[in-house]
Chains A and B, each alone.
Chain A
Amino acid sequence: MSLGRYVGRRLAVTVPVLFGVTALTFSFVHLLPGDAVDAIVGFRAVSPATEAATRAEYHLDQPVWDQYLLWLRDAITLEFGESPVTGRDVSATIGRRLPATLALGGAAWLLALAIGIPAGIVAAVRAGEPADEVGRLAALAGIATPNFWLGLILLFVFSVRLGWFRVLPPDAPLVSLATAKFLVLPTITLGTASAALVMRLLRSSMRRELDATYVTAARAKGLPERTVILKHVLRNAVLPVVTVAGLQLAFLVDGAVVVEGIFSWPGMGRLLVQSVLQRDYPVIQAIVLVIGIAIVLANLLVDIVYAILDPRIRY
């Protein structure tokens, strides 16, 4: 099968999932107890005129099926209405918050790879030796540390006590030295667990690959051990790690929800928490939709990248 057809088939599976994601997000407001209008306006007492206007704006006077389609149309055009709590345009709010989260998440992801991949390689090659044991315990510790706790402690030690970093984000553009410096602690907080995950996965897949005959064959050819590991083993061992990139993304999003609050970082995660606490449902709905679609598309991308990396996929 050609790569094109593989991608086509993968897309065909993605469409119903996207449909499900939008439907689930749509039904969110309707699953809330009480009338949807109450939910949208945040359970405040409103005048009948406002109620009617809201009803019309969210198409609540239509049958559910039509409501969904109309909502979907609005969502595709990024038309999420206004927040009943803040009165601001939901799309604009999210648009303003998104870059901050992408910056933090991207930095944390790079950190996770930068630590996880070399650590995984070393642990696999030195399996059973002290280096591996230390790595295993470090990874377990990384997985077991609650990120909010880690964040608080880093904040306390390096910002409050040592004063190396600011406690609040600087009033500087996103791409600037001051912002980059501020992001050090949040990045470490967010990236630690991901690094541990990458490391463990890579270690286990490398261990499996190291036993393969092609590794012995590569050594028998007289290749330097570096080439054997970094060219032959690693290329095969990263494949299973690539498949969890979607999981990684979900993991980072979860982390961002917590970490952004600790470091007062104006991203989507913090917005989500604020919105939940304020019962700002249109904003919650929009954020959940954006996250859901991002993860579905990320998984699609992962599968395509996997197919490119692994020639055997294209049967």
Chain B
Amino acid sequence: MSDRQPTTDRGRIRIVGFDEATEQKRDSDASSDAADADGAAADQSIASRAATGIESTTASTSALAQPGRRLENAWRRFRRNRSAMAGLAVLIVMTVLAVFARPITVATAEVTVTLQPFSLAPSDPAAMFVGPPNASPSPAHPFGTDWAGRDQFSRVLVGGRYTLSIGLVAVGLALCVGVPLGAIAGYFGGWIDEAIMRVVDVLYAFPFLVLAIAIVPILEPVPILGSGYWTVVVALAVTGWVGYARLIRGEVLSVREREYVTAARALGVPDRTIIRRHVVPNAIAPVVVQATLNIGTVVLTAAALGFLGLGLEPGSAEWGAMLAQGRSSLLRGDWHVTVFPGLAIFLFVLAINLVGDGINDALEPNRDVDDDRRRMR
């Protein structure tokens, strides 16, 4: 195109004066610079922000702020998320209804202490023939009655207790097993990792519900588990921990290499302390999100067990178990027996999912819920 020689070949250019001028300006600005000091820091962050937007350089700012501050920020973000707040509201309402549905009493041999005297549910969920059997919804029985004449409305209200507590307790137990095992596997690696992860692989070969179904007959006769309630909870916890183990192991593997962990190790901090103080807190956010979402999965599985007539005693006012008679009553044309408990499960699981997504967006907006869900498998 042009026949000119590249400029750099012809001579060397040196600029004199700019730097000196800069120095001078710096001196004369010294006083105002002091006032600008934090302004400059702000500039810095703004520059990196602009850079991510425009030049698409990824500037990952690791937020190592105080946990309190971080939670506060997360809560602010969560509050702005309308669907998450709606989900939270549904959960709160359902919890309140379940807790105040019937009085809660603790009875020992001598005394009976009433913890909660309110009774929102009009009748005892187990009382039969409070109305005619299979009655359609009416002012007296807003959700109708089931085949044994039990008030569906009361049963749906009280049924929330099973669902909420099974979900929370089973996920809690699963976390107690999965998080330490996964953290240990990821932190130590080697044969410990191999062993734990092979167990995880083996358990993963069995679908959630199938494994729970197979476990129920094993657990049922164990005396301390006694009632079907604990059978269901333990069965769900046994099947549930593997996901958390896998997820946190992956997180720990990446956290393990960070400087503060290496530094702590070099200082001779015991492994247990490092895991507890440094590794787990930095790897826990996605686990919290997945655990929240998993409450939904666990509730669905528990309801499926109830529906199949496994675990809980037949006739329990559990939402899934209430549907167990649903097929025959539907074929008879009694839709209300099926609709209301199912709707309750649907609402609860939907709300949990909205809240879980919201927590994720609030804690780690750049992280993908579905991606983590995939990684659990």
Q: List 28 A-B contacts (CB under 8 A).
A: A24-B202, A33-B218, A33-B222, A140-B354, A141-B350, A144-B352, A146-B307, A146-B320, A152-B326, A152-B338, A156-B338, A201-B373, A204-B368, A204-B370, A208-B368, A243-B377, A244-B377, A246-B377, A253-B209, A257-B209, A261-B308, A272-B210, A272-B213, A276-B310, A277-B309, A284-B217, A293-B205, A299-B205
Whether A230 sits at the interface, judged by CB under 8 Å, is no
A146 near B346 with CB under 8 A, answer yes
Q: How far is the CB of B343 from chain A (nearest CB, A)?
A: 8
A247 near B377 with CB under 8 A, answer yes
**Contact residues in A for B145 (Cβ distance below 8 Å):** none
Whether A160 sits at the interface, judged by CB under 8 Å, is yes
**Contact residues in A for B118 (Cβ distance below 8 Å):** none
The residue in chain A whose Cβ has the minimal distance to the Cβ of B209 is A254
Interface residue stretch chosen among B2-10, B282-290, B296-304: B296-304
20 more CB-based (< 8 A) A-B contacts, given A146-B320, A148-B326, A247-B374:
A13-B201, A17-B201, A24-B203, A24-B206, A31-B218, A34-B221, A140-B354, A145-B349, A146-B346, A148-B320, A149-B342, A155-B330, A156-B335, A201-B373, A246-B377, A251-B207, A253-B209, A254-B210, A262-B327, A284-B217
The proximity string for B residues 305-347 relative to A, scoring 1 for CB distances below 8 Å and 0 otherwise, is 0011110000000001001001100110101001100100111
Tell me the bound Cα distance from A146 to B302 in angstroms: 11
A253 near B218 with CB under 8 A, answer no
Whether B198 sits at the interface, judged by CB under 8 Å, is yes
Whether B216 sits at the interface, judged by CB under 8 Å, is yes
Interface residues of B in 48-63 (CB under 8 A from A): none
Whether B134 sits at the interface, judged by CB under 8 Å, is no
Q: How far is the CB of B229 from chain A (nearest CB, A)?
A: 18
B208 near A284 with CB under 8 A, answer no
B207 near A253 with CB under 8 A, answer yes
Q: Which residue of the partner chain, among A20, A152, A258, A291, contacts B308 with CB atoms under 8 Å?
A: A258
The residue in chain B whose Cβ has the minimal distance to the Cβ of A296 is B205
**Contact residues in B for A246 (Cβ distance below 8 Å):** 204, 377
Q: How far is the CB of A123 from chain B (nearest CB, A)?
A: 12
The residue in chain A whose Cβ has the minimal distance to the Cβ of B343 is A149
Whether A192 sits at the interface, judged by CB under 8 Å, is no
A32 near B218 with CB under 8 A, answer yes
Interface residues of A in 39-59 (CB under 8 A from B): none
Interface residues of A in 191-222 (CB under 8 A from B): 200-201, 203-205, 208
Q: Which residue of the partner chain, among B198, B217, B221, B330, contacts A156 with CB atoms under 8 Å?
A: B330
A contact set with B: CB distance below 8 Å: 13, 16-17, 20-21, 24, 28, 31-34, 140-141, 143-149, 152-153, 155-156, 160, 167, 200-201, 203-205, 208, 240, 243-244, 246-247, 250-251, 253-254, 257-258, 261-262, 272-273, 276-277, 279, 281, 284, 288, 291-293, 295-296, 299
**Contact residues in B for A253 (Cβ distance below 8 Å):** 207, 209-210
Whether B353 sits at the interface, judged by CB under 8 Å, is yes
A153 near B342 with CB under 8 A, answer yes
Whether B92 sits at the interface, judged by CB under 8 Å, is no
Q: How far is the CB of B58 from chain A (nearest CB, A)?
A: 11
A240 near B371 with CB under 8 A, answer yes
State the 9 A-B residue pairs at the shortest beta-carbon distance, nearest first. Answer: A149-B342, A20-B202, A144-B349, A250-B207, A144-B350, A254-B209, A292-B205, A204-B370, A247-B377
Whether B199 sits at the interface, judged by CB under 8 Å, is yes
The residue in chain A whose Cβ has the minimal distance to the Cβ of B223 is A33
Tell me the bound Cα distance from A148 to B369 in angstroms: 26
**Contact residues in B for A13 (Cβ distance below 8 Å):** 201
B370 near A273 with CB under 8 A, answer no
**Contact residues in B for A284 (Cβ distance below 8 Å):** 214, 217
B198 near A20 with CB under 8 A, answer yes
B330 near A152 with CB under 8 A, answer yes
**Contact residues in A for B210 (Cβ distance below 8 Å):** 253-254, 257, 272, 288, 291
Q: How far is the CB of A26 from chain B (nearest CB, A)?
A: 12
B349 near A288 with CB under 8 A, answer no
Q: Describe B's contact surface by its main secondary structure.
A: helix
The residue in chain B whose Cβ has the minimal distance to the Cβ of A250 is B207
**Contact residues in A for B304 (Cβ distance below 8 Å):** 146-148, 254, 257-258
Q: How far is the CB of B350 from chain A (nearest CB, A)?
A: 4
B303 near A155 with CB under 8 A, answer no
Tell me the bound Cα distance from A262 to B304 in angstroms: 12
**Contact residues in B for A156 (Cβ distance below 8 Å):** 330, 335, 338
B207 near A32 with CB under 8 A, answer no
If A32-B217, A254-B210 touch, does A205 touch B371 (CB 8 Å cutoff)?
yes
Q: Which residue of the partner chain, among A143, A147, A295, contacts B206 with CB atoms under 8 Å?
A: A295
Tell me the bound Cα distance from A262 to B327 in angstroms: 7
If A205-B371, A258-B307 touch, does A146 touch B342 (CB 8 Å cutoff)?
yes
B217 near A276 with CB under 8 A, answer yes
The residue in chain A whose Cβ has the minimal distance to the Cβ of B372 is A204
**Contact residues in A for B371 (Cβ distance below 8 Å):** 204-205, 208, 240
The residue in chain A whose Cβ has the minimal distance to the Cβ of B301 is A254
Q: Which residue of the partner chain, among B222, B346, B377, contacts A149 with CB atoms under 8 Å?
A: B346
A28 near B346 with CB under 8 A, answer no
A146 near B214 with CB under 8 A, answer no
The residue in chain A whose Cβ has the minimal distance to the Cβ of B334 is A156
B323 near A148 with CB under 8 A, answer yes
**Contact residues in B for A273 (Cβ distance below 8 Å):** 213, 308, 310
Tell me the bound Cα distance from A251 to B301 in angstroms: 11
Task: Identify the interface centre among B199, B201, B339, B353: most chain A CB within 10 Å of its CB.
Answer: B201
Q: Which residue of the partner chain, among A160, A243, A251, contacts B374 with CB atoms under 8 Å?
A: A243
B209 near A145 with CB under 8 A, answer no
Tell me the bound Cα distance from A28 to B217 in angstroms: 10
If A152-B323, A155-B330 touch, does A291 touch B207 (CB 8 Å cutoff)?
yes
If A20-B199, A200-B370, A208-B368 touch, does A144 touch B205 (CB 8 Å cutoff)?
no
Interface residues of B in 175-198 (CB under 8 A from A): 198
Tell me the bound Cα distance from A292 to B208 in angstroms: 11
Q: Which residue of the partner chain, among A20, A28, A147, A203, contacts B218 with CB atoms under 8 Å?
A: A28
Tell me the bound Cα distance from A31 to B235 in angstroms: 14
Q: How far is the CB of B377 from chain A (nearest CB, A)?
A: 4
B330 near A160 with CB under 8 A, answer yes
Tell me the bound Cα distance from A33 to B193 in angstroms: 32
Tell me the bound Cα distance from A155 to B216 in angstroms: 29
